[in-house]
Chains A and B, each alone.
Chain A
């Protein structure tokens, strides 16, 4: 209750409070200097099992399963396909997944204090004309109704709570992730010019009446001038448009790494601009740039989709060969628990797997798939006894450190309703943006956990100098192929087009790498579209 006296009557009490607490600092420091043993664990996607695709030393199949529809891969694309089958009244499908759980990049971990994401961790508010996504969100009670203007009302508990973003810039935390406080006049003007350009791209349409930038990507306009943006890097686009300021570069570099894994030096300018222009920010009237988020990240969305695959899923099953034979598709699958192989015979197969995997499963695909690049990611979840900084802006959901190597961290308990957290859990993100991602990936698996521990702590120390003393546990999670990376020429290139083509009306492809950008909406629509395509063709056949 009631700060009345404190503020209204006596300013002195307040300032005295500060004086007294300053005096207390040395004594408090004395108490807290006990050494905490830091527990560290290193894990990642099941790359050991995955890499057996190189040598394929699997036992011969000993049994057979017959099923009309087979979905390979339990990420969002595969799960969304399963949902669409059910929506269309089809339940005779089977989903096969290499990992012991479903979700792919939308997976999560959990410790004593909080759930935490092991990959994608938020969904920006959908575009208003994306009715399928709106419908899904409504089904799952993420949209709780529509207002008088017909705009969706989102569940307050699932929108990111305030304060949602802060940036450590010039030794202070500031509100929002765009560098603002302490810029020169010129820098501010450039940032303003950039955002004006993005606003124009956001509403801009081509001659074909389509948005220049849209989600899903395939809905975007054919406008040549815009598509040419895919031929240069974001950095080159900056130079061409006479952008020079460091804070702008840093901010856009952060955005690009956040969505595509690649920084401005390597990412396609079309993709970089799509980050700002693809989302129309028209789904609500006040907080346009809000996001939906959950402690476990997008694993929440995966959980909603999972219910459509109940009792129709084989986990810990690695598909190692897919081929057509007598109008059927044969998939050979290795059961990693029982250590036996099975043969699945299906009418139609949906490959909801990334192309770097498909090249080992299906014959003669390497020529299309060699141009697909994937950025490795590192995620580290830290359990902290406390998280102190200079208190210039309170702990937010997304916390970005200017000049750090990584992308900052997410406060995993931010969506909690509790007043107090005994321990704080944060997840640090790092994308290995480089010109040679293969080489980087090899190096990634050579380093040990001590190396990564120090790497993460050193990066966080920029804003939290004493974080090492308050870290109790660190869980490092490596993703060798974190997400598809839209280097110049990829999104509108030949490789993507070829790899998307259906094989003999029976093997279909659905994955975000066929969009070129790895976001939930792309996967969600791939799943829906591939099922619609199969069913349309089947109706035509019959």
Chain B
């Protein structure tokens, strides 16, 4: 009897240990997710811990209302904790998008888990109170409780999150939690009433968790859909980037590596402002060069001028240009511009290509990603613009997308100042694109044969640009920045400005 009892006590204490570990893991999962999603990790962790401890207190309080079948209740709670805790991260991930609602669910889950864990310890002490001396009981239960907590807090950041990910961790601990219930069901057969029913419940819960664990891949891709807040209608990973196309009502949006590339409702503003100023002032537009812009939307605007004989588009990513040549929806946006016989596509590194290019162009349109890292920063350097000058005809017009003068004035004017070192005439202008905000461009002329206000030709049917350049080159005080340096390969000061300015907004 003594031996058997020892086993009984040991089992239950082991259960306490597991509950404590699992409980803390769920709490940490909730805290981590909350700080990722809502920001301010100190606040989130603090709130989560507070709510969790408080709900444990509530659980303890309510434990006095349980009188009968204490062991059964204990096992049931064990199953419930495993199921709810284990699935909590999955639920939270799927509810990413609606924040207010999300916070409610988050704290509800934290509360329920805390409540159940809070119930268990007093329940257990009630179960064991007639079998063990009170002094030993209290000491043992709390010892195991706190050891479990320590184990969880060490394992979580060092092993669990790196190895299993957040979702995997909570599901994994859910399974451990439920398997303890299963073990208890089998070993304490005689002490439990309705053992079969309990066992069935436990095994079913385990299978649910296991199922979700196995299919977490597809859940992930579903939650990625949620991440964009719109219906994903197309995804493709090329060698260089992940392309995602979403659709919401009449708006299509294209994301490259999670950065918005365009929204179909207002991209015409961006692309008309990019293309038409240079096209209207250039001495000639026979041969146009586009760097970047693999979506073909700038080319669509260029082809509105009948004088254009040849467009050369250089984009690093073949996957991107191919997609915009064949995909039905996408060729709808660029009006099949990339399939136009006037257009030559070259998939290579623009810098390297320009260095060895033998031709000279009448118009150069540069539409690169923002200078958010040192690799991209090279494409905004003094040497790069010198290279561009070397492949520009006399009086050629050049335009560069140069990020937002409102959000990043230093970056904007840094590029402008760098271009000024190279080209004889340089100006800047900006346009409002609702999905981006206030967006800006630097424009240059390789000579003095024409001016920014001299409209030589116009295209018909524009929705945004009215060929009055002087309406676009006025900058209010909040979009001006002085005392900036020139961006060179050996200082890459632009990347630092950009990081400083966009980083501030995070």
Contact = CB atoms under 8 A, between A and B. Distances in A.
A26 interface: yes
B33 interface: yes
A494 interface: no
A14 interface: yes
A23 B167 contact: yes
A382 B506 CA distance: 37
Nearest to B89: A23
A270 to B, nearest CB: 31
B223 interface: yes
B319 to A, nearest CB: 13
Given A1-B367, A1-B368, A394-B374, A6 B260 contact: yes
Given A4-B439, A19-B36, A26 B404 contact: no
Given A1-B370, A23-B165, A419 B489 contact: no
Interface of B: 33, 36-39, 93, 96, 99, 161-168, 217, 220, 223-224, 227-228, 240, 258-261, 292, 316, 349, 351-352, 355, 367-370, 372-379, 381-383, 401, 403-404, 407, 433, 435-437, 439, 485, 488-493, 495, 502, 505-506
A159 B223 contact: no
B379 to A, nearest CB: 8
Contact of B383 (A7, A16, A157): A157
Contact of A20 (B227, B367, B433, B490): B227
Given A15-B39, A286-B491, A5 B260 contact: yes
Contact of A2 (B38, B93, B260, B378): B260
A224 interface: no
Given A6-B260, A25-B162, A161 B492 contact: yes
A160 B435 contact: no
A417 B355 contact: yes
The 10 closest A-B pairs by CB, nearest first: A4-B436, A162-B492, A5-B260, A159-B490, A19-B36, A156-B383, A417-B351, A23-B165, A161-B489, A7-B505
A15 B373 CA distance: 18
B372 A3 contact: yes
A22 interface: yes
A8 interface: yes
Interface in A117-140: none
A270 B159 CA distance: 50
A25 B164 CA distance: 8
A162 B498 CA distance: 15
A22 B160 CA distance: 11
A17 interface: yes
A276 to B, nearest CB: 21
A244 interface: no
Contacts of B403: 2-3
* Residue of A4, A18, A20, A161 ringed by the most chain B CB atoms within 10 A: A4
A17 B244 CA distance: 13
B506 A14 contact: yes
A16 B435 contact: no
* Residue of A19, A22, A156, A287 ringed by the most chain B CB atoms within 10 A: A19
A5 B435 contact: yes
B351 A13 contact: no
Contact of A287 (B228, B491, B502): B491
Contacts of B351: 417-419
Contacts of B37: 12, 15-16, 19
Nearest to A422: B239
A33 B163 CA distance: 13
Contacts of A394: 373-374
A419 to B, nearest CB: 5
Given A7-B407, A160-B490, 11 more contacts: A2-B370, A22-B166, A25-B162, A25-B165, A157-B383, A162-B377, A162-B493, A164-B490, A417-B352, A418-B349, A420-B349
B375 A419 contact: yes
A290 B489 CA distance: 12
Contact of B502 (A7, A16, A290): A7
A419 B347 CA distance: 13
Contacts of B492: 161-163
23 contacts: A1-B259, A1-B368, A2-B403, A2-B436, A3-B259, A3-B403, A5-B260, A7-B506, A8-B436, A12-B99, A14-B506, A22-B36, A26-B168, A156-B382, A156-B488, A161-B489, A162-B492, A163-B492, A286-B485, A417-B351, A418-B351, A418-B352, A420-B316
A234 B373 CA distance: 40
Contact of B165 (A26, A161, A420): A26
Contacts of A287: 490-491
A290 B161 CA distance: 41
B407 A8 contact: yes
B227 A4 contact: no
B36 A16 contact: yes
A166 to B, nearest CB: 12
A54 interface: no
Contacts of B383: 156-157
Contact of B378 (A16, A17, A20, A417): A417
Contacts of A23: 93, 165-168, 220
A12 B223 CA distance: 14
A154 B223 CA distance: 52
A11 interface: yes
Contacts of A451: none
A149 to B, nearest CB: 16
B325 to A, nearest CB: 19
A37 B322 CA distance: 35
